[in-house]
Structure 1
Amino acid sequence: MDRNTPTERTPLTSLSESFERYLQDKGKGRGGDGGNYRRNAARELERFAEWAAGDRGGDDWTGIVPDDVDREPIFEDLDERVFREYARYLAGDRGLKQNTVQTYYRYISAWCGWCVNEGYLEAHYAQRASAMAPLPEDDGRKPGDQQAWTSEQRHTLTRYVDERARDAVEAYTTLPQDTDPLDKQRARYAALKAARDRALVFVLAYTAVRVGELLRDPNDPRRRGVRWEDLSIEDGSMDVYRKKQQWDAASLPDPVISPLRSYRQLMDPATERWPVFPTFDQRTLAGLVREELAERGERPEAITERREEYARDLLLALDGDIRPPSITTDGARSILQRLSKEGEVDIVHPKHDYLAPHGGRRGMGEVLVRAFGYTVAARYLDNSEEMVRERYSHIEAGELGDVATEALDEVDHLGK
C-alpha cells in the first residue's frame, strides 16, 4: 500500500485528514456526528488548520510549511515550537479572555494527544512546558474556575441516570418467579444503586443544596447526611444543616420528587432514621454488619452463615436494620466522576473533567438569576443578595451590555 494514502498513519499525512477521525471518536450518537464537544473541537481545529496554513496570524505569518514548499501542513511539520507559536498567537488575541485562551488551546492539545495514541505523532508536543509557556497564567479571577452545569450538561446527565435507573428497576421487577434468590438479590442491589445515583444527581442538579449540607462530613459529626426523616416528599421540602450552622428547610422542586419517591419505595428502609444516600462501599458495609451482629450476640460462625444468605451486605443491613453511614462528599465526587464518564457528558473546564457537585448548585443559580433576578435566587440559594450579585456578576454585565447596545442603536437611529 502507498504510504501516502489516507488510511496510512504517517508523518506525511496532512493534518486535515486526521480531523474527521478524531471528531468521530469524540462525537456523540451514531457515527459520532453529534455533541457539543465535537462542534466546539471542530471549530478550533479549523482555526488551527487555517493558522498552520498561514491564513491567520497576521501579515507576517506564512504558516508552518517551509516557504520553498507548496503543500498543505502535514504532521512532519509539527513540533513543540509550532504549538508554542500557536499558544502565543492565541494569547496575543486581545479579544479573548484568559480562560478562553486556555480553553481553545486545550482543544488542540487534546487532538495532539489523540494523534500520539493513533501513531501520527511521536510525542505530545502541545503539553510540553516550552509549548505552553506563552499561555496566560491563572490569576485567580477567571470565571472558568467555578464550574456551573449548563442546561445541556444537566439534561444529559439526568437523562442518563434516569434511563439507567429505569432499566435496572424494570430488570428487577420483571424477574420470573422461579429466579434464584441470590440472582434476585443481585438485581435488587443493582436497582437500588442506580436509583440512589439517580436521586443524588437530581437533588444536586435541581435543589441548589450544598453537597456538604446533603451528605456526611467525616470531620463534622453534625453533618451526618440527610435521613428519610428529614424529607417531606409530599410537601416538597427537606431539612438540612446549613452552612450558617443551623437547620433550615430547602425546597424539593418537581423534577426531584419522582426519583426520590421511586427510590424510597424500592429501598423500603427499616426506619426513617436511615440515610437517604447510604454508602454502597462493600468493605465498610462488611465491617459494619459483622460488628453489629456481634454486638447483638451472634457468634462468628452464625454471622458468616447469615452473610452468605445475601448477595450483598447492604441487603442484609436493610433486612436487619443495621443502619449504614451516608456517603461522604468525596464519595459524591467519585460517583459523579463515574456517571459523567458513563453518560458521556461534554465537559471542557480548567479544573474538572467531570460534573462536580458544586457545579449543580452554581448552575441552578445561573438559571434562577436569569429567570427571577438576584433577590429570588438569593433566597433559594440560602445566600445574601450581595454575595449572589458578586458571584453572578457576569450575568448583570451581559445584560448591561445589551442595554448599552440598544441605547447606541437608538442614538444612531435618531441621528440619521
Structure 2
Amino acid sequence: MESSNSGPSPGGKPLETAAEEFVAERDGNYASNLEYCLDKWIDWTPDHVQALEDVSTRTMRNYASHLKRRVRADAISASTARTYYNYVSALLNRAVEVGDLVENPAEKREAKKLLPSETTNSGDQQFWQPEQRRAIVSYVDEQARAAIDDPEANPFEPVRNRALITTLAYTGVRGAEVLADYRDERRNGLRWHSVDLEAGVMTVLGKSQDREETALPQQAVAPLERLRTLVDPPADGWPVFPSRHPPSLYSAIEDAGYDKPDGDPWGFCLEHGIEPPSMSTSGARTLLKRLSEEADVPGLEDDEYLTLHGARRGVGEKLYRERGAAAAQRTLRHADPQTTSEMYSHIEASELAEDNTAVFDNE
C-alpha cells in the first residue's frame, strides 16, 4: 500500500459518497459487484486518500501492483484483477463527467503499466490434468487410510486433507468459496449446514456475492462423510475444513472465555465444543505445495505446485471435453457463456484443427 507524509485533503467529495452515488445509478448484479469492489478498494486506500481529488496516478499504480501480487498468489485471475481495476476507473470516469475531477488518474499509462496481462493463451494456464488429479487424490487417500488404520495416529489432518483435495478436484469450486479469505469477512469457510451429502449439493458464497448451489459428485461425498463422522461437529455451523493452526486455535479458545490450555488446542476445542477457525486460502496453498511434492505429481516444474484455481480449471476442462461447453458452464457457474468459451478456447482450436485436417486429407 502506498505511503505518504501528506495529510488528507481538506476538501473534495469523499470516496464513500462518490461510490454511493455511482452505485445508485446502476442496478442488478453489476451494481452489487460494483459496490463490493469499490468498498474493497476504499478499504485498501491509504489513510491520506479520503476524497476523489486525493486519488493520484501513484495511488492507482500501487493498486495495480496490489492486484498483480494477488494474481501471482493465485488469489484471483488476471481477468478478475483487471475487472476490479476497471470498476475503480469507471468510478473516476464518472467523477470527471460530473465535474468532481479534471481527469481520471486510473487511465494514465503509468498507472496501468503494472496490471497483469490478459493476453495469456488459455492453454498456458494451469489445469489439473487427469494424471495430476489422480496422483494427488491417490496420495491423500492412502495417507488417510493409513492414519485411520494406525491406532496410535491422529487421523484428523489426513482425513481433512483428503476431503478438501477431493472437493477441489471434482466440484469446480473456487478456493475462497469453501475456505476462509481474511480479506472478506463474509468468506469464513464452508459450513456443515451448507452441505447436503445425501442430495450431493453444497451452497457456497459465489463470486457474485450470492448464495449458489453446486454439485457434489460421489468422489467428493464419501471423503466428506468420513470427515464428518470423525470430527462429529457439535453444531452445524462448524467449518467443514477446520484449521489446526495453533495460534488460531488458541485465539478461538481465549475468545470463548477459556485460559490457554497446556495440551493440544485442537483436542481442547473438540472437548469443549469451541468452534475452530476454517482453513484459509493461504493455508490451503501451503498445503498444496507440500502435497504436490510429497505425491510426486507429474508434469510440474521445479517449485511449481498444483494451485487452487488450477483445480477449478481442471474440472471445467474435463467437462468441456467430455460433456461440452454447457456442462462446463453450469458446473463452474459462469454467468456468461463467453467466459467458459474463452477459458477453454485452446480445446476448441485443437478440435477445429483436427476437423480441418480431416477435410483436407481427402483433397
For the aligned pair, the TM-score class normalised by the smaller chain equals: 0.5 to 0.7
Q: CA RMSD in A?
A: 1.8
Q: Does 1:358 align with 2:309?
A: yes
Task: Answer whether contact 2:122 2:342 (CA < 8 A) is retained.
Answer: no
User: Which residue of structure 1 lines up, in the alignment, with residue 139 of structure 2?
Assistant: 160
Cα distance in 2 for residues equivalent to 1:256 and 1:353 = 25
Deviation of residue 292 (structure 1)?
1.8
User: Which residue of structure 1 lines up, in the alignment, with residue 12 of structure 2?
Assistant: none
Letter of the structure 1 residue corresponding to residue 171 of structure 2: T
Identity %: 39
Letter of the structure 2 residue corresponding to residue 392 of structure 1: Y
Cα distance in 1 for residues equivalent to 2:352 and 2:121 = 20
- Deviations 1:98-119 (CA, angstroms, capped at 9, x unpaired): xxxxxxxxxxxxxxxxxxxxxx
TM-score for the superposition, normalised by structure 1: 0.57
Deviation of residue 143 (structure 1)?
4.0
User: Which residue of structure 2 lines up, in the alignment, with residue 170 of structure 1?
Assistant: 149
Letter of the structure 1 residue corresponding to residue 127 of structure 2: A
Distance 1:139 1:277, change over 3 A: closer
- Deviations 1:163-218 (CA, angstroms, capped at 9, x unpaired): 000000111xxx3xxxxxxxx6xx33xx0011111111000000000111111111
Equivalent residue in structure 2 for 1:147, among 126, 144, 158: 126
User: Which residue of structure 1 lines up, in the alignment, with residue 340 of structure 2?
Assistant: 388
Letter of the structure 1 residue corresponding to residue 358 of structure 2: E
Task: Answer whether contact 2:288 2:307 (CA < 8 A) is retained.
Answer: yes
Cα distance in 2 for residues equivalent to 1:404 and 1:372 = 22
Matched residue SS, 1:196:
helix
User: Which residue of structure 2 lines up, in the alignment, with residue 322 of structure 1?
Assistant: 274
Distance 1:204 1:145, change over 3 A: same
Letter of the structure 2 residue corresponding to residue 156 of structure 1: A
- The within-5 A match list for 1:207-356 is 207-294=171-258, 303=259, 307-308=261-262, 310=263, 312-348=264-300, 353-356=304-307
User: Which residue of structure 2 lines up, in the alignment, with residue 407 of structure 1?
Assistant: 359
| Number of residue pairs aligned between Structure 1 and Structure 2 | 246
Task: Answer whether contact 1:144 1:349 (CA < 8 A) is retained.
Answer: no
Matched residue SS, 1:213:
helix
Cα distance in 1 for residues equivalent to 2:358 and 2:255 = 70
Cα distance in 2 for residues equivalent to 1:215 and 1:365 = 20
Letter of the structure 1 residue corresponding to residue 332 of structure 2: L
Deviation of residue 145 (structure 1)?
4.5
Task: Answer whether contact 1:347 1:355 (CA < 8 A) is retained.
Answer: no
User: Which residue of structure 2 lines up, in the alignment, with residue 204 of structure 1?
Assistant: 168
- The within-5 A match list for 1:86-105 is none
Deviation of residue 348 (structure 1)?
3.0
Where does structure 2 lack aligned partners over 5 or more consecutive residues?
1-116
Cα distance in 2 for residues equivalent to 1:193 and 1:252 = 21
Which protein has the larger Cα radius of gyration, Structure 1 or Structure 2?
1
Give 4+ residue runs of structure 1 displaced > 6 Å after superposition. none
Matched residue SS, 1:269:
coil
User: Which residue of structure 2 lines up, in the alignment, with residue 53 of structure 1?
Assistant: none
- Deviations 1:63-94 (CA, angstroms, capped at 9, x unpaired): xxxxxxxxxxxxxxxxxxxxxxxxxxxxxxxx
Task: Answer whether contact 1:216 1:223 (CA < 8 A) is retained.
Answer: yes
Matched residue SS, 1:217:
coil
